[in-house]
């Protein structure tokens, strides 16, 4: 199996896992607030549906995606949120159907993309494999918000490797988007996978290191948990700074999440 096929399989499986969480919810439950300010479960799934459709256009219609970019440039700060609002305004069965259709089309489009191609995107162009990795990351991250809103746990899987990988690869981006100088030295990341394997990035003798469960690292880089709530061992001044700004999603600096202890005190 090719790398791309394996990633697309993981994307299909990650989407199906989230589908299982929302498929039987009634209309009121779809309007449950999630930890993302102003977003309900309907917004979370609507956003995934919208982004999957944008990805299909990028993979199959270059001219069409150029028109999408022109619209985005006209509203750079609100284009994505606007898409989520439009989707969330629909009935839940429509939201779910549209998401299922979009993600099915995306899987086929990515597998049908030619070798060595670069797909246009809102940021730098991406290979089909990179786009599949990014879609796994975002599907998992928004799935965390849905699970938190419903008060349920989701068993982590080794599909988290894609999330961790993009988290490591976007280290420099996190500094740049926060207008901070990028550290010259590489970092070492060592993570224990849900299946028990050890995943590593960076030289073994790096002074700045992050080690711990892959689940917690993925929560860190997607800003789904505050660093105080994570079982990560962070060594080195630069690594500690990165832990406060890490984000593997595009756009301006994320606001992060308050520590669970602080949230509990507020409630």
Question: What is the reported pLDDT for 123?
Answer: 83
* Residue 112, token pair as written in the block: 């049908």
Where does the chain hold its CATH 3.30.1050 domain(s)?
A: 160-266
* Predicted local distance difference test score (pLDDT) of residue 196: 97
3 state DSSP class of 193: coil
pLDDT digits (tens, 9 = 90+) for 101-151: 999 999 999 999 977 899 999 888 999 999 999 999 999 999 999 999 999
- Angstrom distances, CA of residue 73 to CA of 13, 44, 78, 118, 123: 33, 23, 10, 21, 12
Instruction: Tell me phi and psi for residue 7, to 5 degrees.
Output: -65, -40
The predicted structure's pLDDT at residue 212 = 98
Whole-angstrom distance, CA of residue 247 vs CA of residue 227: 12
Q: Which residues of the chain have pLDDT under 70?
A: 77, 261-267
Q: Where are the domain boundaries for CATH 1.20.120.450 in the chain?
A: 3-150
Confirm or reject CATH 1.20.120.450 for domain 3-150, answering yes or no: yes
What is the rounded CA–CA span in Å between residue 103 and residue 139?
10
Note whether 254 and 247 are within 8 A (CB). yes
Pairing, β 187-192 against β 233-235: unpaired
Complete edge-to-edge strand list for the sheet that includes strand 208-213: 198-201, 187-192, 208-213, 233-235
Q: What is the pLDDT at residue 260?
A: 82
The three-class DSSP label of residue 199 is strand
What is the CB neighbour count within 10 angstroms for residue 224? 23
Q: What is the pLDDT of residue 77?
A: 66
- The reported pLDDT for the residue numbered 262 is 52
For 8, 10, 134, 171, 248, the CA distances from 176, given in Å and listed in that order, are: 30, 30, 19, 9, 12
What pLDDT does residue 265 have? 39
Second-level CATH architecture of 160-266: 2-Layer Sandwich (3.30)
Cα 159 from Cα 231, distance rounded (Å) = 20
H or E element that contains 211: strand 208-213
């Amino acid at each position: 199996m090719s790398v791309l096929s394996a990633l697309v399989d993981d994307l299909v499986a990650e989407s199906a896992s989230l589908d299982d969480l929302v498929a039987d919810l009634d209309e009121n439950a779809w309007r449950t607030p999630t930890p993302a300010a102003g977003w309900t479960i309907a917004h979370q799934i609507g956003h995934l549906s919208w982004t999957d459709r944008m990805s299909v256009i990028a993979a199959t219609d270059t001219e069409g995606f150029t028109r999408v970019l022109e619209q985005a440039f006209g509203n750079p700060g609100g284009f994505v949120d606007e898409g989520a609002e439009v989707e969330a305004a629909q009935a839940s069965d429509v939201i779910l159907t549209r998401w299922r259709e979009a993600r099915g089309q995306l899987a086929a489009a990515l597998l049908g993309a030619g070798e060595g191609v670069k797909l246009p995107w809102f940021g730098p162009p991406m290979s089909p494999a990179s786009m599949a990795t990014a879609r796994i990351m975002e599907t998992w991250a928004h799935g965390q918000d849905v699970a938190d809103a419903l008060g349920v746990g989701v068993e982590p899987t080794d599909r988290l490797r894609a999330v961790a990988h993009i988290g490591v690869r976007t280290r420099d981006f996190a500094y740049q988007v926060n207008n901070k100088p990028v550290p010259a030295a590489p970092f070492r990341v060592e993570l224990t996978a849900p299946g028990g394997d050890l995943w590593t990035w960076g030289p073994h003798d790096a002074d700045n290191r992050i080690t711990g469960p892959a689940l917690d690292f993925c929560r860190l880089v997607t800003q789904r948990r505050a660093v105080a709530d994570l079982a990560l061992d962070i060594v080195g001044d630069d690594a500690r700074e990165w832990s406060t700004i890490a984000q593997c999603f595009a756009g301006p600096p994320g606001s992060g999440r308050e520590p669970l202890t602080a949230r509990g005190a507020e409630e």
